Structure 1
Amino acid sequence: MENNFYIKYGNNPEFSLKDITSNLTLLKLDENPSISNVYQNNVMQDGEMWNYTTYQPTTVSCTFLLWFSTWQDYLLAKHDIMQAFMQKELFRIRTDIDKHLVRYVRTAPFTIAPNEDGSHWATFTVAFENPSGVKYSYLRSDQISQSNGWGYGLNLADVPNLNYHFNNQTSFRIFNASDIAVDPYFQKHDLKITIKSANGGLTVKNTTNETSWTFKGSLNSNDTVVLDGINTYKNNSYDSMETDFGYIKLEKGWNEITLDKVADITFSFPFIYTF
C-alpha cells in the first residue's frame, strides 16, 4: 500500500508528494518522544531534587523512494523535492499512516542520490525537526465528530456525546483528549474560548483545577469576546484590561466548567499528543 505525505505552508492549500513530482513515495516515518528532567542541587543534601520536566524537540525521520527513467528526470525531480522541503518557515506535515495527526516542522539538511551507479531509483531520508516535540490533531476540538476527523490513537474511542459548544447552560463538561493538559499560560498552548450572547460581566471557571477567567466590563448580546490563550479580545479589539488576567487550563480527560450566567460559549483547541 502506498503511503502518501502531505505538506501545508501557512494558510496555503495542502499538497501531496504527487504534486511535487511523479513516482515519489513515502516508505516509512519514525519519531521518538524526548523528555528532559531538570533537578536542583543542594550543597548540604545528597543527590538532587526534581525541579520540572519538559518535552524536548524531536526528529521526524521520513524515508522516501524516488523512481526515475532518465538522468534528466532525476535532476528535475531532485530540484522539485529540494524546493518543496527546503523551506525556512515552520510548516505542517501529515501522512496516510496517521492522517488525523499533524506535526509542525522544519527541514534539516539532507541529500538525494541514486542507490547505485546506473540505477533508476533513489531512497533517501529527510530529518524533519519538530521543535514542539509533540503532535496535534488535524482538526480542532469543535470540528471533530465521529464522521469527521475521528481516528485511532486520539483517545476518543470511549467518549460519548463529544461537544465543545454550549448555549444557555451554566455548567457542563469539556473533554480534553490530549495526552497532557492544555495549558495556555505556562506552556503557551493553543486554546480559544469564544463567548457570545452574554449580558454584563462573566466568569468562566474550571472547577477541576480551579483556573478561572473573569470579564469585568459590560457585555451585551451583540458582543463577541474571545479568550485566546491568555489574551482577551472584545469584538476583535484587544481588551485584557477589562479582565482579571485569569486563564483557563484544561486537564487531561474530563473538565467540569461553570459560568456565573448563561452565555453561548465554544472551546476550540487542537488535541496534543506526546507519542
Structure 2
Amino acid sequence: MRSIHNFKVIYEDVEYDLSENDMIVNYLRISSPSPVHTRDTVPGAHGYIDMGTQYEGRQMEGKITIKAKDYLEYPIKRNKVFQIFFSRKPFYLIRDQEPGRKWLVKVDSAFNIPQIALTGEFTFTLSSPSAFSQSLGSTLEAYIFNYDYGQGLSVDDYIHSTSSFSIYNAGDELINPRQMKLVIKFQGASTNLKIKNLTTNEEWTYTGSSNVGDVIELNGILASKNELSIVPDTNFKAITLEPGWNEFLLTGTSDPFEISFDFHYQFL
C-alpha cells in the first residue's frame, strides 16, 4: 500500500522508493525554520539592536511500518531499513506530496524496530544542514519545469542574448552564491564587462576582455575565463537573486553573445 506520506531516498548511485520496498510511511513531519537572532545592546539604552537573523538546519520526524510475509523474511525487511537509512553519506529525500522539491538529510540518531508478529514499526529523526529544500532540478535542466513553480517558465528564460533581461527566482529565499549554487556564464566578445542586477543594485565588473567563443564564468565567489582564474581583474563582488523577478543590465558586450543563469530554487 502506497501512503500519501511516502518518499524516496536518493543517493548519488541508487534510489529507493519506500513503498516499493514494502514500507508504509505513516507520517513525515517537517519542523518550522529555527531562527537564530543576533542582537547587541547599548549601555544605558532600553531594548536591543537587531543585528539580523539566520536559520539553523531543519529537523524531520517520521514513522514507518514494515510488514513481512513470514518470520524468515522479517529480518530481511529490517536489514533493508538499515541499508537505506544508515549510510554515512547524506541523501536526498523527495516526498510524493512535493515531487518537485528535495531535502538533503541524514538520520539524526539510532532507532529500534520492535517486532510484533510479522510487523515492525519505528519512529526516526532526520536532520538537514540547510534551512531550505531546493528544486529537484536547476534552471538549466528542462525537467525542473514539469513541476508547478508558477510563471510558466522554461530553460529559455534563463539564457539571454540581449543586454537587458529579467531572471525569475521562483523560490522563497535569496540566492546567495556565497552559500548556494549560482553559476553565471557569459560567452562572447566583451571589453570591461559589467553585469548589474538592477533589482539588488549589485554589480560585478571585469577589467579585461574576451573574444568570440571565450567563456567567462561566475561560479559562487570565483570567476574564470576559459577555466583560468580572473578574480584579481574583477571588483570581487557577487551577484545575488531576490525572490521574484530580477532585472539585469549588461555593458561592455559585443554581439553576438549569450549569458545563462544556473541555480536551484530554495524553499522554506
Report the TM-score when normalising by structure 1: 0.86
Cα separation, 2, equivalents of 1:130 and 1:52 = 22
Q: Is the 8 A contact 1:179 1:252 kept in 2?
A: yes
1:181 to 163, 174, 179: 174
Deviations 1:69-111 (A, max 9, x none): 2333221222221122112222211121111000011111232
Q: Tell me which residue corresponds to 1:16.
A: 17
Cα separation, 2, equivalents of 1:17 and 1:237 = 45
1:249–1:29 distance in 2 versus 1, CA, 3 Å: same
Deviations 1:15-70 (A, max 9, x none): 32367xx3113232211222222211222111211111011111122322211123
DSSP-derived class of the 1:87 partner? coil
Q: Tell me which residue corresponds to 1:124.
A: 122
Q: Tell me which residue corresponds to 2:25.
A: 26
Cα separation, 2, equivalents of 1:90 and 1:239 = 33
1:149 to 146, 151, 161: 146
1:44–1:161 distance in 2 versus 1, CA, 3 Å: same
Cα separation, 2, equivalents of 1:266 and 1:100 = 22
Q: Percent identity?
A: 24
1:267 to 244, 247, 261: 261
Q: Tell me which residue corresponds to 2:207.
A: 216
Summarize the alignment of residues 25-64 of structure 1 with structure 2, pairs less than 5 Å apart.
25-33=24-32, 34-64=34-64
Q: Is the 8 A contact 1:165 1:267 kept in 2?
A: yes
More strand by share: 2
DSSP-derived class of the 1:78 partner? helix
User: What are the ranges of 5 or more consecutive residues in structure 1 without an aligned counterpart?
Assistant: none
User: What are the ranges of 5 or more consecutive residues in structure 2 without an aligned counterpart?
Assistant: none
Summarize the alignment of residues 51-130 of structure 1 with structure 2, pairs less than 5 Å apart.
51-114=51-114, 116=116, 119-130=117-128
2:164 to 171, 175, 187: 171
Residue identity in the other structure for 2:227: N
Q: Tell me which residue corresponds to 2:221.
A: 230
**C-alpha displacement of 1:129:** 0.4
Is the aligned partner of 1:195 residue 2:186?
yes
Cα separation, 1, equivalents of 2:189 and 2:147 = 32
Cα separation, 2, equivalents of 1:144 and 1:224 = 22
Cα separation, 1, equivalents of 2:145 and 2:171 = 17
2:197 to 196, 206, 223: 206
DSSP-derived class of the 1:142 partner? coil
Matched length? 260
**C-alpha displacement of 1:192:** 0.8
Residue identity in the other structure for 1:184: P
Residue identity in the other structure for 1:9: Y
Q: Is the 8 A contact 1:184 1:247 kept in 2?
A: yes
DSSP-derived class of the 1:77 partner? helix
Residue identity in the other structure for 1:31: I
Q: Is the 8 A contact 2:204 2:239 kept in 1?
A: yes
1:237–1:25 distance in 2 versus 1, CA, 3 Å: farther
Deviations 1:119-157 (A, max 9, x none): 221222221101112110111123257x84323xx4x2x
**C-alpha displacement of 1:160:** 4.4
Cα separation, 2, equivalents of 1:2 and 1:135 = 23
1:239–1:7 distance in 2 versus 1, CA, 3 Å: farther
Residue identity in the other structure for 2:138: R
Deviating 4+ runs (over 4 angstroms): none
Deviations 1:161-202 (A, max 9, x none): 5511112x00001111111211223xx122111111233341
Is the aligned partner of 1:7 residue 2:1?
no
Residue identity in the other structure for 2:146: G
Residue identity in the other structure for 2:61: S
1:265–1:14 distance in 2 versus 1, CA, 3 Å: farther
Cα separation, 1, equivalents of 2:227 and 2:236 = 18
